[in-house]
Structure 1
Amino acid sequence: MYPLVVVCFFWLLPLALTLDAHSPLDCVPRKTVPYHRENGRMFSEEGVWNYSTMLLREDLGLLLLGARENIYALDINNIANKKSSVSWKVTEKQQKECTSKGKNQIECQNYIRVLHTMEDGRMYVCGTNAFNPECDYMSYKDGELILENKAEDGKGKCPFDPFQRFSSIMIDKTLYSATSMNFLGSEPVVMRSSPSSIRTEFKSSWLHEPNFISMAQMPESRASLTGDDDKIYLFFTETAVEYDFYSKLVVSRVARVCKGDLGGQRTLQKKWTSFLKARVDCPVLESQLPYVIQDTYRWCEEGDWRSCVFYAVFTSQSDRVDLSAVCAYRVLDIGRVFSEGKYKTPVTVETSFVKWVMYSGDVPSPRPGACINDEARNQGISQTLDLPDRTLQFIRDRPLMDQAVLPMGERPLLVRRGTAFTRIIVHRTQALDGKKYHVMFIGTEGGSVLKAVNYDKEMFIIEEVQLFQPREPIKVLRFSNTTLYAGSEDGAVQMPFSSCGRSRTCVDCVLARDPYCVWDRTTAQCITLSTANTDSELIQSLWAGDFSLCPASDPVKTVNQTVWLGGNVKLQCPPTSNLAETHWVQDSLPLPSSPRHQILRDSLLILNASASDTGRYRCLSLERSHSGKYTTTVAQYQLRVGLEGLPLRPQARTEGPSLAALQVSVAFLAILLAVLLGWNLYKGHLPLPGPCGRVIGAGRRQNQGAPEEGAACNAVAHLDVSEPGEAESKALVSGVGNCTSNNNHSTGEVALGGGEEGESEARVTFPSLQFIDDESDI
């Protein structure tokens, strides 16, 4: 027992040490903005789906939007304004060929997946084309989109499957892509299409069931002291080959190739000689399984690639964990793993099983996977075609690095429970204090966007805005100037970086800690900093959230509320934010929650009101910031409970024209009913009961000894009627009380209340009726 306690202590110690005051775990947005059409401008067309490809052409003032069988040119300032569109559909023959191979009609259409700008201003566009990828060139002239119909084979450039993750990037005139080469998706490839085609090996040690996420160029040749080459970085996930598990384990990877790679002379002909990959870790404390990367965004200082940082969103691969995370990685740290780290090598164990371990032998020179630099040139190697076979064979068999890439600070920037993250972009803005802040916009599976900022290692989520209804996953995020663009299955939305007008008070504006927003004391409004007048007195406090800078606010008006004695009443109190705590005060005394006083998130519910509930109620909101606790009165009520001359309950009206009219109507209906009853009796429409239809007098007894009349009328009951007054105190129906499960009575008789002892019981006999106890009797 004691060894177990010791082990648990040392296992939990690192966890406890990391959970400090600045822990980013499980952040909550300060405000949640529900869906409303005013949240942003939306574009969609009837019958068109999958708005998942975007290309910003700020030089043309356009947002190019690729969807299923359509490409749109939208006004970059108002995407609801469609400038032009072009349709690119598959032929009937192509669709039949696709469905004959086992795909459905939805898949067998043309999904636009690739949109890139060429050097000459034209655009390169590719579509899945009914599982037969095809590419073309497109131009925008005189306000019209034009497809040039110069069809090119899209294999290796665009995925076959419209719902398969892939990535591509256009550098100069060259397309780099990561997708699948065949119909089944079983041949993954990282490829450069032109001028000299080059790709990865079809080996599981290179790519093992990958999902490609994103690509980015890094101009590392600029001002390089070693004469290095530019590089292309690729983020993806794959099934791990280095772990010994019973089931498949997915890991996140970053790979790198050199822009000037031409392949080998004999070994690795037309294959990458510089392809290296390493594991990417985003350590979230609650999971033993590695988190899976979903998207990345590269941010760089202008003109300095060494400052570049990759922001990435991760989700759990366990169904029992609903956490998502954001981690950030320096490009220098990634490069250091590739240039200085150890390699992994496969080792055969017991003649069949392959285990990957760290390679501890000699590493050939030039270093395997390295770009051609000054050191290689000094050895007479000016291009990859000159690399020795020993170096090429080494990298062909060992493309995996032993060391993992760790995030900045070796921990996530943000961890949140709930809807999974899908996409991320990062915008840098300058605040009122002159400092520049990185604002992260994170798309979710629920169609919302989170806006978050890191203030001195403290992650703060400003708001979560619902952009799509129904809640469709956000598939693409882009931004231009001060505008965010999001695409989903149903459409595209344009949203400003911040809607400062949502904050109606100075304190709310300051506590929002939004670097885009300031409070203007001159106009008494929360406005966008970029639109503020330089002569205005502006208030903003991002790290501290110093609400004391704000002028005193106007007091809240008291609302009179009345409830009847014993009734229920609900006093509304809308919370100022998700971070605020609400408290209720009755006549200056704190009101605790109780069965009769239920304190809800947005209201107070008073049940079975009594005279003691009369009084003044105040709803207080308490929100904490680094400058202290801010308490404000959100709502104030004066409640009266049926007192001061008010009736205890509503009284019925006893006079007035409406009551007289009701009385006349009831009398008229009663007379009409009596007339109708007398008429039917006179005409014989209502035959009086007796033997075969004759009346038995009310004060007479039927002679039980008389012969039966109308034997054919065997369905008529014989009633034993008691003397007048005798049966008044007796039950009308005798309590037999047999509630059996089958409800089947063979006698078909119902006993009625009889007379005195010695007299035969009154019975109603229904020989022609049967009870049904199951469906087979019907």
Structure 2
Amino acid sequence: MFGNTALAALLCLLLCGLNRRLDASVLNCIPRKSVLHQNGSIKTFKEEGFFNYSTMLVREDINTLFVGAREAVYALNMEDISEKISTVYWTVPDSKQRECTNKGKNKDTECRNYIRTLHKIDDAKMYVCGTNAFSPTCAYMTFNKGQLLLENNFEEGKGKCPFDPFQRYASVLVEDHLYAATSINFLGSEPAFIRNSGNSLRTEFKASWLNEPNFIYMDMVEERQNNADGDDDKVYLFFSETAVEYDFYNKLLVSRIARVCKGDLGGQRTLQKKWTTFLKASLVCSVPELNVQLIVQDVFVLKSEDWRETIFYAVFIPQSGALDISAVCAYSMTAIQNVFSEGKYKAPVTVESSHVKWVMYSGEVPVPRPGACINNQARAMGINRSLDLPDKTLQFVRDHPLMDDSVTPIGSQPRLVKRGSRFSRIVVDRIAALDGKPYDVMFIGTENGFLQKAVNFDGEMFIIEEVQLFQPPEPVQSLTLSSKKGQVYAGSPSRVVQMPFSVCRRYETCLDCVLARDPYCAWDLAVNRCAATADRTADPQNLIQSVGKGDASSCPELRNIKTKTRTFIPGNNIQLKCSPISNLAQIHWTLNGSSIQLRNPKYYTYNGGILLFNVSVADAGQYTCQSVEQANGKQYPLTMAAYNLQPEQSQGQNTANAVTTQSPGTTQSPGNTRLTPTPPIVPDEWNPKIMLQTDDKRVLVFQILVGILACLLVCLLTWNLYKRHLPLPCVKPKVKEPSRKVPIDGVDTTAYQVSFNARGHFEASPLVNNCQTGTTVNSRITNNNNAARQRKDLDSFIIPSMLLGVDDFKYIDEESEI
């Protein structure tokens, strides 16, 4: 037992140390502003009876947002998504639904048509796919003159759309060719990365290629443009899978990035109709304080005019649910290219003829380089297509699809680390601030329905605000944005919401506006308000903004806060309201210009203000509340409230348990209307334990608790002694016939035969009548009366006297069957 206790204590210390380190790492990742659900800046679309708004397509060219839900596709106005333009309903035929149900799937949930694919083909046509009751189907959909129309030329959706509506998958449309990563069978046990075209290609069905993957995201990067090496465009796939390279006692998930070349045609003999350029590598995103594997959940590609400046943003969560940590990592195009173009390969090695271990391949690598696209070097060798590649190169890439090197994030650390609700989706917008520098603003959806807006300033993690999108809370299942409109669109199981990139009017003062470090907002001196930087009417010379440093020293001095007079009756409690300017600010109270010692049990501070107990005449004076926020090593105080606290001059008032109260928006001076004593106002954050802050009161409470426990222990011991559950070592029990007892080592071992008469009452008689010889004689039963003995045995039983007290029989139910 001592060993278990010591182990538990050691684990507790380790967890406490881990929590302290995590607090240090995520201290600056507290959202500066928390905005609860409100309809002022959030627009919502929902239709009763339809769910799972998980697929979205932004069409800025026609100012329309297309949303795929369960058995419906909606066309919504991007300016205001609550305005529905058109709808197409795509339900499942009864025959398909019965077939799905007969295969063991749920009729009301799984055997429906979930829209999972929406891709633009041209200005008026789109490609749409649905699960169709575990029978994936695709079709073309047109949008003309504000009307959606689903064409009847349905296509087989196997390899284009998942069977399971709740299984993650990824797809991208490149030059009318659909690249998709999904499971291609009903059971979901055969994953594949497929190009659906006239010359279809797919991955090998081998664990070394794909091992129980969970597909996340897919997109193409046009690397052929301005490329001196004559390289090809590439399609990148992000997913997680069970690792094959680690010898672990349990399944270990790892994050991966894979890529194929757009011009891949497969091999001539080896890898026929298979990818010849499929390579994958581990995707690393680790928190310095933790030694835990993080798993990718979503990816967003931030593209630039120069494809070399492309950045992949990804959100990660731990494999297990023990830690509530989420992280965002960013990866450069250069780091990804170096791993695939110059990195080492991993090779499987058989150990002891049974176990396969993956190690770095140190042998000779064939030429052309396995997995590489057809470039100028290959063309110089007479290889113009993947069909021309030698079998040696193809066999190598077939057996060595995994790279030994890992893709590490920019700066070798995350862009953001936060504790709390897990991240689920991410989109990123790049904006140039007034200082001329571009900033990548991350919009991150969470599992509890919040949207985090964050920026990384040269390694400094900063969350500008968090906004509650859904009430009641729902996970963010899909997320997209429109940089042209400045809007973010989020989908959940029950609705779609729209939110602008920023609501500058939330910042009421210059200090609040500048310290927000929001690239979309700046303080306009001309109109004395926080305005959007995109507003063309604002003069840049009148705008104050400091995104990189948060320097608010240029803000003008604020006018003095009007002092509110509060009166009190001595002996009562009084509340003075004051809230900080942000979650990062701290409240500082002064009395007549001197700081209040908050450790004094007379005061209790909370987010809504301060509570004074047992106010006396000596507590009268000028109370000032300041919100102090720190940015870049400098403190910025802002006076939030001022109170003139004076004793009530009137007499005759009932002061028993009264608190003087006044609305924060009114002013009252001594001698004006007398305040009627009211019950104490206690804020929600106030805990009654604050009344016991002195050591004497703590000791008194402790003594009372010890006394109560001692009384309970004495009562429990007395009851057990009374019931004879515990033996009395110094007291011998009183018995009427001591000669009938058989003591052995001081313990009464006499056995009683207990029988019940016709009325249900018991009769107990000892089975021993000769204590010296130990001969057992039953005085109630004679040897020549076998019939009576048999009847007696049926209605009686034997029990040792040490386990039986006479009083115990009164608890036996007379009607029970024994």
Q: TM-score range by the shorter chain?
A: 0.7 to 0.9
Gaps of 5+ in 2: 1-13, 659-717, 721-809
Task: For residues 607-633 of structure 1, give each alpha carbon's deviation from its aligned partner in whole angstroms, at most 9, with x where no partner exists.
Answer: 333333333322111111127211121
Q: Tell me whether 1:447 sits opposite 2:477 in the alignment.
A: no
Task: Give CA deviations for 1:399-432 in whole Å, capped at 9, x if unaligned.
Answer: 0000001111111111111111111111111212
- Aligned residue runs from structure 1 range 643-662, under 5 A: 643=649, 645=651, 647-649=653-655
Q: Tell me whether 90-99 or 389-398 shows the greater mean CA deviation.
A: 90-99
Asked whether the equivalents of residues 28 and 461 of structure 2 are also in contact (C-alpha less than 8 Å), the reply is: no
CA distance in 1, matches of 2:393, 2:515: 59
- Which sections of structure 1, spanning at least 5 residues, go unmatched? 1-11, 653-739, 743-771
Contact 1:24 1:458 in 2 (8 A): no
**Given the alignment, which residue of 143, 167, 190 partners 2:146?**
143
Which structure 2 residues correspond to residues 702-713 of structure 1 after superposition, within 5 A? none
| SS in structure 2 of the partner of residue 79 of structure 1 | coil
Distance 1:341 1:177 in 2: 26
Match of 1:464 in 2: 466
Q: Secondary structure at the match of 1:271?
A: coil
Distance 1:400 1:25 in 2: 37
Match of 1:516 in 2: 520
The question of 1:91 aligning with 2:93 is answered: yes
* Residue 116 of structure 2 corresponds to residue 110 of structure 1: no
Does residue 1:583 correspond to 2:588, yes or no?
yes
Using the alignment, how far apart are the partners of 1:775 and 1:393 within structure 2?
Answer: 83
Correspondence for 1:40: 42
Q: What is the distance in 2 between the residues matched to 1:179 and 1:775?
A: 66
How far does the alpha carbon of each residue in 1:162-199 deviate from its partner, in whole angstroms, 9 at most, with x for none?
A: 11111000011110001110111110100000121110
Deviates more, 1:280-289 or 1:269-278: 280-289
CA distance in 2, matches of 1:279, 1:99: 39
Change (3 A) 1:775 1:513: farther
Give the Å deviation of 1:485.
1.0
Corresponding letter in the other structure for 2:601: P
- Amino acid aligned to 2:506: R
How many Å separate the matches in 2 of 1:613 and 1:245?
66
| Residues 389/180 of structure 1: CA separation in 2 closer, same or farther (3 Å cut) | same
C-alpha contact (below 8 Å) 1:24/1:413 kept by paired residues: no
State the partner residue of 1:504: 508
Q: CA-to-partner distance for each residue in 1:131-189, whole Å, 9 max, x for gaps?
A: 11111110112221100021111111111111111100001111000111011111010
Task: Tell me what 1:697 maps to.
Answer: none
| Equivalent position of 1:533 in the other structure | 537
* Counterpart in the other structure of 1:407: 409
2:278 pairs with 1:275: yes
Of all paired residues, the percent bearing the same amino acid is 55
Alpha-carbon contact 1:564-1:648 (below 8 Å) kept? no
Aligned to 1:604: 610
SS in structure 2 opposite 1:531?
A: coil
Change in Cα spacing, 1:774 to 1:462, as seen in structure 2 (3 Å) is farther
Q: Which amino acid aligns with 2:545?
A: Q
Q: Compute the displacement of 1:637 (Å).
A: 2.0
Given that 2:622 and 2:645 are in contact with CA atoms closer than 8 Å, whether structure 1 keeps it comes out as yes
What is the aligned counterpart of 1:615 among 612, 618, 621? 621
Change over 3 Å in CA distance of 1:774–1:29 after alignment to 2: farther
How far did 1:435 drift?
A: 2.2
1:345 to 347, 353, 376: 347
Letter in 1 for 2:174: I
Contact 1:119 1:173 in 2 (8 A): no
Structure 2 counterpart of 1:434, one-letter code: G
- Tell whether the 8 Å contact from 2:280 to 2:402 is kept in structure 1 after alignment: yes
Q: Is the contact made by 2:28 and 2:462 (CA closer than 8 Å) also made in structure 1? A: no
1:549-569 residue CA offsets vs partner (Å, 9 max, x unmatched): 111112122223344444333
Q: Which residue of 1 aligns with 2:217?
A: 214
The equivalent position to 1:187 in structure 2, one of 187, 190, 204, is 190
Match of 2:393 in 1: 391
Residues 456-510 of structure 1: per-residue CA shift (max 9 Å, x gap) = 3322211111111111111121111211111111211111110000011111111
1:621-700 equivalence runs, <5 A:
621-626=627-632, 628-643=634-649, 645=651, 647-649=653-655
Tell me if 1:232 matches 2:235.
yes
Q: Is this contact kept in 2: 1:545–1:627, CA < 8 A? A: no
Q: Quick check: 1:40–1:493 contact (8 Å CA) kept in 2?
A: yes
Deviations 1:727-767 (A, max 9, x none): xxxxxxxxxxxxx999xxxxxxxxxxxxxxxxxxxxxxxxx
Q: Is 1:292 aligned with 2:295? A: yes
Aligned equivalents of 2:623, 2:614: Cα separation in 1: 17
CA shift, 1:24, in A, is: 6.8
Describe the superposition over 1:322-350 as per-residue Cα deviations: whole angstroms up to 9, x where unpaired: 11111111112111111111110111111
Asked if structure 1 preserves the Cα contact closer than 8 Å seen for 2:281 and 2:402, the reply is: yes
> What CA deviation, in whole Å up to 9, does each residue of 1:50-80 have, x standing for no partner?
1110001112210000111111000011101
Higher mean C-alpha deviation, range 108-117 or range 541-550: 541-550
Classify 1:68/1:651 alpha carbon distance in 2 versus 1 (closer, same or farther; 3 Å).
Answer: closer
Inter-partner Cα distance in structure 1 for 2:23 and 2:156? 56
Partner of 1:750: none
Structure 1 distance, partners of 2:812, 2:330, is 69
Out of 537-546 and 21-30, give the one that drifted further.
21-30
Tell me, in whole angstroms, the C-alpha distance in 2 between the residues paired with 1:449 and 1:77.
19
Looking at structure 2, the residues matched to 163 and 452 of structure 1 have their Cα atoms a distance apart, in angstroms, of 29
Counterpart contact for 2:579–2:587, Cα < 8 Å: no
Structure 1 position 434 matched with structure 2 position 436: yes
Task: State the distance in 2 between where 1:550 and 1:399 align.
Answer: 58
User: 1: CA distance between counterparts of 2:74 and 2:145?
Assistant: 15
Q: Which residue of 1 aligns with 2:170?
A: 167
Which residue number in structure 1 is paired with residue 379 of structure 2? 377
CA positional deviation for 1:301: 1.9
Contact 2:440-2:455 within 8 A present in 1 as well = yes
Q: How far 1:546 moved relative to its partner? A: 2.3
Superposed CA RMSD in Å reads: 2.7
Deviation at residue 586 of structure 1 after TM alignment = 2.1
The CA distance in 1 between the partners of 2:158 and 2:813, in whole Å, is 63
Aligned residues: 647
Asked whether the 8 Å contact 1:34–1:465 carries over to 2, the reply is yes
Distance 1:44 1:651, change over 3 A: closer
Summarize the Cα distance change of 1:438–1:775 in structure 2 as closer, same or farther, 3 Å threshold: farther
CA distance in 2, matches of 1:178, 1:651: 70
> CA contact under 8 A between 2:621 and 2:644: conserved in structure 1?
yes
Give the corresponding residue for 1:74: 76
Match for residue 101 of structure 1 among 87, 100, 103? 103
| TM-score, normalising length: structure 2 | 0.76
Match of 1:548 among 547, 553, 573: 553
- For 1:775 and 1:170, the matched residues in 2 are separated by 79
Structure-1 separation of matches of 2:154 and 2:448 = 37
Q: Please say if residues 449 and 465 of structure 1, whose CA atoms lie closer than 8 Å, have aligned partners that are also in contact.
A: yes
- What TM-score, normalized by structure 1, do the two folds share? 0.80
Aligned partner of residue 37 in structure 1, secondary structure: coil
Q: Provide the residue aligned with 1:9 in structure 2.
A: none
Partner of 1:329: 331
Contact 1:344 1:359 in 2 (8 A): yes
**Rg larger in 1 or in 2?**
1
User: What CA distance in whole angstroms lies between the structure 2 residues aligned with 1:181 and 1:383?
Assistant: 28
Asked whether the equivalents of residues 330 and 415 of structure 2 are also in contact (C-alpha less than 8 Å), the reply is yes
Give deviations 1:659-708, integer Å, cap 9, x for gaps.
xxxxxxxxxxxxxxxxxxxxxxxxxxxxxxxxxxxxxxxxxxxxxxxxxx
* 8 Å contact kept, 2:286–2:292: no
Distance change in 2, residues 1:180/1:776 (3 Å): farther
Shift of 1:436: 1.9
The Cα offsets for residues 27-53 of structure 1, whole Å up to 9 and x where unpaired, read as 111111111112310111112111110
* Inter-CA distance 344–46: structure 2 relative to 1 (3 Å threshold): same
Letter in 1 for 2:620: T
Deviations 1:499-530 (A, max 9, x none): 00001111111111111101111111111011
d(CA) in 2 for partners of 1:599, 1:338: 57
SS of the residue corresponding to residue 39 of structure 1 reads coil
Contact 2:234–2:261 (Cα < 8 Å) also in 1:
yes
